[in-house]
Amino acid sequence: VKITSSTTPARKLAHVAQAGLRPLVSLNNTLSAVPKFIYPTVTGTADQQAMIWETLDKLPMHHAVRPNSIGVVPSIDGTPNILGRNLSPLGRVTLSESGHGMSNPDVFKNTVNHEVGHSVDHPSGFFSIFTKSRPSDSEPFGAGPNVSDYAGTNPREDFAESYELHRHDPQALRDVNAAKADELQQLDKPTYLQRLVDRPAFRETGKWIGKQFQAYPQLRTGLEIVRQTGIFSLALAGSAKVTEGVIDKDSRDVALGLLQTGAGVGLALAPSVPWLGVAATAALGGSVGVKAAQDAQADAGRTVASMIGAGVGGVLGGFVTPLVATQLGYTLAGPAGGALALLAGGMLGGTLGAKLGAKFALGKSPEGARPQE
């Protein structure tokens, strides 16, 4: 008889539920790890949507995908003085139809840029408060000369106002404040990983996915909360495991917990520091490897080997495979094909890659190596 923990019906049920959730958790992790290419969900009249898309298309891709949704509402707080608002932690941008001048396409598009500017300054994610300081936290932002009176109200608005002018008329910003222009020019440059997804397959797939939520923009916000909660619970479960390991003096549990916590933190910060996404998938895979070694009652040396094997497998499966799959799916069947491939790759890749990596490193199936009684 195998020694397993699923001895009571309640535990069995919990195991089944966990197994069913695993692909979704895996997808959640992949979507958090890879450089973002899913475009915001855009809502409004046909004209308004066209103006928003026209504005997004002129932005560097890594800026265009920063908000999760951009929607037009009749008014904000019942006053025409507020043209737009950005709920930064959720990446939700609203534009006011009745805001002063918003019927003028230039004002409308400038407002889109202003709000995206807030998202560039503050990537969505409750954890982003822990990342390196926001651009607006330090000079030249928050100090004159300013592009407008409104920019003088606080450093956040200074950044957004400067960003708006940088998009509309870069030379005009440079004439007012060259240091701010330099800083914004620097932020326009994508990182290596961001450049990797800046190709038609990902742009078009990302736009297609964003559009699927048009009828339910709230669902998009809801999924964003789910995504962040998932990452948070991963970090939390990891730290619980560390505590457990310390109390039981079990170094493997401590390692497992540290890897999970590290993965959670890495995924949380990946929107601002893209390479942390790769590191997080490696840590996630590594934790699968430690678990497999635990099940196989492997010694310390083989546990480390299993951790490394599964870590490599985790990166290949949870990061590389979904991206390659998206490109392939798009080539074969357009944006819908890309989205479907991303879904499949994200659900299966990470866990499968890590398990194979662990199996390879341990030399035999972790399942077969389970202790018997």
Q: Which two tokens stand for residue 307?
A: 């951790």
* Nearest CB to Zn ion, comparing residues 109 and 252: 109
We find the least distance from the C-beta atom of residue 315 to Zn ion, in angstroms, to be: 38
**What are the residues whose beta carbons fall under 8 Å from the beta carbon of 153, sequence distance 6 or more?**
none
Per rule CB under 5 A, is residue 165 in the interface with Zn ion? no
We find the least distance from the C-beta atom of residue 51 to Zn ion, in angstroms, to be: 18
State the number of binding residues for Zn ion (CB under 5 A).
2
H/E element holding 87?
strand 84-87
Per rule CB under 5 A, is residue 160 in the interface with Zn ion? yes
Q: Which stretch binds Zn ion (CB under 5 A): 150-158, 243-251, 296-304, 319-327?
A: 150-158
The residue number with the shortest CB distance to Zn ion is: 160
CA distance 71 to 89: 16
Q: Which stretch binds Zn ion (CB under 5 A): 152-160, 191-199, 251-259, 330-338?
A: 152-160
């479907």: which residue's tokens? Answer: 340
* Nearest CB to Zn ion, comparing residues 155 and 357: 155
């069947």: which residue's tokens? Answer: 333
Q: Which stretch binds Zn ion (CB under 5 A): 40-48, 156-164, 271-279, 315-323?
A: 156-164
Q: Which stretch binds Zn ion (CB under 5 A): 3-11, 90-98, 157-165, 257-265?
A: 157-165
* Nearest CB to Zn ion, comparing residues 160 and 339: 160
* Nearest CB to Zn ion, comparing residues 184 and 293: 184
CA distance 85 to 258: 38
- In total, the chain counts a number of residues equal to 373
Pairing between strand 69-73 and 84-87? unpaired
We find the least distance from the C-beta atom of residue 351 to Zn ion, in angstroms, to be: 42
We find the least distance from the C-beta atom of residue 140 to Zn ion, in angstroms, to be: 18
* Nearest CB to Zn ion, comparing residues 158 and 253: 158
Q: For the chain, how big is the Rg over CA atoms in Å?
A: 23
Q: Largest Cα–Cα distance in the chain?
A: 79
Q: Which two tokens stand for residue 74?
A: 């009749």
CA distance 137 to 149: 19
* Nearest CB to Zn ion, comparing residues 119 and 261: 119
CA distance 117 to 208: 23
Residues that bind Zn ion (CB under 5 A): 157, 160
